[in-house]
Amino acid sequence: MADSPAQFRGQARLPRFAAPLRYDLRIRPDLAACNFSGAAAVAVAVSAPTRFLVLNAAELDVDRASIRFQDLAPTDVTQFEEDEILVIGFDRELPVGEGVLTMDFTGTLNDQMRGFYRSKYVCNGESRNMAVTQFEAADARRCFPCWDDPAFKAKFKLTLEVPSDLVALSNMPVVKETVSGPIKTVYYEESPLMSTYLVAIVVGLFDYIESSTSEGTKVRVYTQVGKTNQGKFALDVAVKSLDLYKDYFATPYPLPKLDMIAIPDFAAGAMENYGLVTYRETALLYDELLSSASNKQQVAITVAHELAHQWFGNLVTMEWWTHLWLNEGFASWVSYLAVDSLFPEWNNWTQFLDETTSGLRLDALAESHPIEVEINHASEIDAIFDSISYDKGASVIRMLQSYLGAERFQKALASYIKKYAYSNAKTEDLWAVLEKESGEPVKDLMTTWTKQQGYPVIYAKLNGHDLELEQAQFLSDGSSGTGMWIVPITSCCGSYDAQKKFLLKGKTDKIHIKEFTASQSSDGDKNIWIKLNIDQTGFYRVKYDDELAAGLVNAIKAKKLSLMDKIGIVEDSYALSVARKQTLTSLLRLLNAYHDESDYTVLSHVTSVCLSISKISVDSTPDLNKDIKQLLINLLQPAAIKLGWDPKDGESHLDVMLRSLLLIALVRLGHNETINEGVRRFHIFLEDRKTYLLPPDTRKAAYLAVMRTVSTSNRSGYDALLKIYREAAEPQEKSRVLGSLSSSPDKDIVLEALNFMFTDEVRNQDSYYILGGISLEGREVAWTWLKTNWDHVLKTWKSSSLISDFINYIVSPFTSEEKAAEVSEFFACRIKPSFQRALNQSLERVRISARWIESIRSEPSLGQAVQELLQGTA
Ligand code: BES
Ligand code: ZN
């Protein structure tokens, strides 16, 4: 065993005695036959004598006879499929030093959206293939044999042999092109040191537009032929972001060029390949007339995110996937910084609380995981591209930045980038730099947040002149975990000028009211309010005692609180209610304090809470459901009436977003007037697709309204939507239709929409739109459908994280223990690592809902409170 190839099996990482320095790769894709052939020459540094070279390869045919290390032919070549490794054995020890490993190989251009794959598009009415790579996390090994581990950085020199009429792109600029009949050979410059997961190739028919940064870096956006107009917005955001990041990280953009390209079949939203960033079409293309305000934001955030990676991720790379959050959390956080500076009117940092909210919601599950996760096999990596790495990651960075101060933080980041450029870093490397630059206990503080799952709720109560604080781990199932954190507490009393900040290091602490600098509060002041976690910069929740909670309700009504604090209060209160730490009754009373709110950022959280209450009440208190819905409609309607359906000249971006948000919420709450008006406008739109009565921003609301009225006996609305889908050229429009098709209350229509997903009219990448739209009435039929079609679903979506969406969307809406047991039984013999976590989390959500329902049923005064609130006497 010790001397056999099998000794390298079952290891999380490749052995380190040989490492690649330079890859010379020649690759020839055949777009018609959907395969490729390649030749690799890899300069390898052998650092300890060995008889073996061990590298990654998967789903590749490596031509054994072609393998040489210098002049030496191997005696033994073994490919372990399960471990995705290729072990090349020689009859003698390879000497320490540098040598070149050469080999030829072939593979398939697959249809799985990973590795080297094909994507389909139509050009001049003709269906064509393009060849595209997607290597993150561990799929470069599906294109060429390599040391497919982020820490094995090497230089890459690519040569592509492609049909002469096509555009062939890679990370670096072209140095030379030679044409020989139908095939051209394209030679690219050698790259700087980089990780394998960032190598990229795209071959197809494209047009481009170009601009350049203040430093002269050429930036291009490639689109389908004739569509470059839709790339302009992203190009502008890209150029500005590059300039901004260059200053922020105090390091120039590391490569000679940057290309960004839209790919019709794409598993994620976008991928930060070094110098050649790939996007879903919806995440890159923006059209003044055809896109919505929220499409525009999505494009800006996605571009800013991927370009942040060019520094954070590509130049400095995580040492191993355990530190994935360094890549993703940082890129997410920095993207808000960039977009905020480009579009200050979007109030982007307040919108950032959407990220914090999803992080907090997921991390309240027992089935969550720490930010830093142990990774033992490539198949485990995909599952950690989740809200913990992204949203909790970004949120704890914001928390730290706010604790250290923006300037100190930026300086330290810049020196971290300098120190680790062209190399790799671990989480503690970042803490060490920040600690050195700031003199603060960064490592101790942050370790409690990244190595430990979950987060605390701070119980706050007033005891005489003392504000007493106590931390306990917050879990949505109502139990208390054992976690303890170092919590950066911020608080203010009566005014944002009277603040107090400190680190809560133990379980409890207290603040004397007098400690609030400039405190204006005095005994008996009825208007005193105390808000902890100012502007929600901390990744924790707060549970106030009754007196403090009442003070905050008054402060909301008196408009004393910031938008972020208003969001924090409603989100915490909702979470505490789900966890049965607070009644639904009191949550409804709190919501009432938001009745004249008119800000998009706040109302987006309020509506999300409203929709969740409306759903749970269907199961918990069916007889109250109608009244509760009416109550929520009453809450949202004033703002909706003010905005109406029609856009107004010169109105703000956020008001445009708000209109769409409120109309959709009112449709979902079953508000008849809104549904009727949506249907009316839809009919006008059917006659005239250019009508000003239904611009892209309100279209989704109208589509959903139509679907609320559709049934098997009255299906013309569904058919009309399908027609719109088929005729729409724009993916963003197609996604709006897909997102409504399954929202009918009629089970047979839901089933029809689900089956539509399996036709070749819907790209596999788009399944989640249909899944995300399933009506509450359709959940049972969706579950039966999933069981019936599980084999097909697994086969089609197995190799991307999209498989988890099927489980999340279909299982999570259930609310009973029995259902959880049934689901769990179905999957008992079907479980796979790629969706294990999604399943466990979905089941946990079902059980949490089941308990929440029980507790709502036992709330004695709920019915009466609903009546009072409806009559405005509360
Ligand atoms: N590196 C990711 C893309 C990725 C995701 C690769 C999952 C492999 C598995 C990229 O930087 C990313 O984070 N994309 C986001 C978009 C962003 C705006 C949050 C995405 O795809 O959703
Ligand atoms: Zn990312």
What does the pLDDT read at residue 874?
67
User: Could you tell me the distance, in angstroms and rounded to a whole number, from the CA of residue 566 to the centre of ligand 2?
Assistant: 29
* Cβ of 309 below 6 Å from ligand 1: yes
> How far lies 700's CA from each of 679, 747, 749, in Å?
11, 21, 18
Mutate to test the pocket of ligand 1, among 135, 281, 328, 735 (most ligand atoms within 8 A of CB): 328
* Residue 702 pLDDT class (50, 70, 90 cuts): very high
Other Cβ atoms less than 10 A from the Cβ of 850: the count is 18
Each residue's pLDDT tens digit, 771-790? 999 999 999 999 999 999 99
User: Could you tell me the distance, in angstroms and rounded to a whole number, from the CA of residue 652 to the centre of ligand 1?
Assistant: 29
Chosen CATH of 1-203 out of 3.40.50.620, 3.40.50.300, 2.60.40.1730, 3.90.25.10? 2.60.40.1730
What does the pLDDT read at residue 837?
93
Each residue's pLDDT tens digit, 20-33? 999 999 999 999 99
* Residue 345 pLDDT class (50, 70, 90 cuts): very high
Chosen CATH of 456-517+525-582 out of 2.160.10.10, 3.40.50.300, 2.60.40.1910, 3.40.720.10? 2.60.40.1910
Cis peptide before 234 (omega within 30 of 0): no
Give the bridge partners for 511, in sequence order.
Answer: 467
Annotated active-site residue 306? The verdict is yes
What does the pLDDT read at residue 801?
83
Other Cβ atoms less than 10 A from the Cβ of 47: the count is 12
Using CA positions, which residue lies closest to atom 10 of ligand 1? 271
Mutate to test the pocket of ligand 1, among 266, 305, 307, 805 (most ligand atoms within 8 A of CB): 305
Using CA positions, which residue lies closest to atom 22 of ligand 1? 269
Mean pLDDT of the chain: 96
| CA–centroid distance for 783 within its chain | 25
pLDDT at 447 over 80: yes
Each residue's pLDDT tens digit, 206-241? 999 999 999 999 999 999 999 999 999 999 999 999
pLDDT at 1 over 80: no
User: Could you tell me the distance, in angstroms and rounded to a whole number, from the CA of residue 655 to the centre of ligand 2?
Assistant: 29
**What's the whole-model pTM score?**
0.97
* Residue 379 pLDDT class (50, 70, 90 cuts): confident
What does the pLDDT read at residue 77?
97
User: Could you tell me the distance, in angstroms and rounded to a whole number, from the CA of residue 119 to the centre of ligand 1?
Assistant: 18
* Cβ of 301 below 6 Å from ligand 1: yes
Mutate to test the pocket of ligand 1, among 271, 326, 803 (most ligand atoms within 8 A of CB): 271
Which residues does the annotation place in the binding site for Zn(2+)?
305, 309, 328
List the domain boundaries for the chain.
Answer: 1-203, 315-451, 456-517+525-582
Residue 211, token pair as written in the block: 């601009």
Using CA positions, which residue lies closest to atom 18 of ligand 1? 302
* Cβ of 355 below 6 Å from ligand 1: no
pLDDT at 522 over 60: no
* Cβ of 655 below 6 Å from ligand 1: no
Ligand 1 atom at shortest distance from the alpha carbon of 280: 21
Each residue's pLDDT tens digit, 550-573? 999 999 999 999 999 999 999 999
* Cβ of 299 below 6 Å from ligand 1: no
Catalytic residue among 84, 136, 189, 306: 306
Using CA positions, which residue lies closest to atom 20 of ligand 1? 269
CATH class of 315-451: mainly alpha
CB 316 within 8 A of CB 415: no
Give the bridge partners for 56, in sequence order.
Answer: 85, 146
Each residue's pLDDT tens digit, 263-284? 999 999 999 999 999 999 999 9
Fold equal for 315-451 and 456-517+525-582:
no
Each residue's pLDDT tens digit, 612-625? 999 999 999 999 99
List CB contacts of 326: < 8 A, sequence separation 6 or more: 312, 313, 318, 393, 425, 427, 430
Percent of the chain's residues with pLDDT above 70 = 98
What does the pLDDT read at residue 274?
98
Each residue's pLDDT tens digit, 47-92? 999 999 999 999 999 999 999 999 999 999 999 999 999 999 999 9
- Mean pLDDT, residues 404-430 taken together: 97
User: Could you tell me the distance, in angstroms and rounded to a whole number, from the CA of residue 496 to the centre of ligand 2?
Assistant: 35
pLDDT at 523 over 60: no
What does the pLDDT read at residue 520?
55
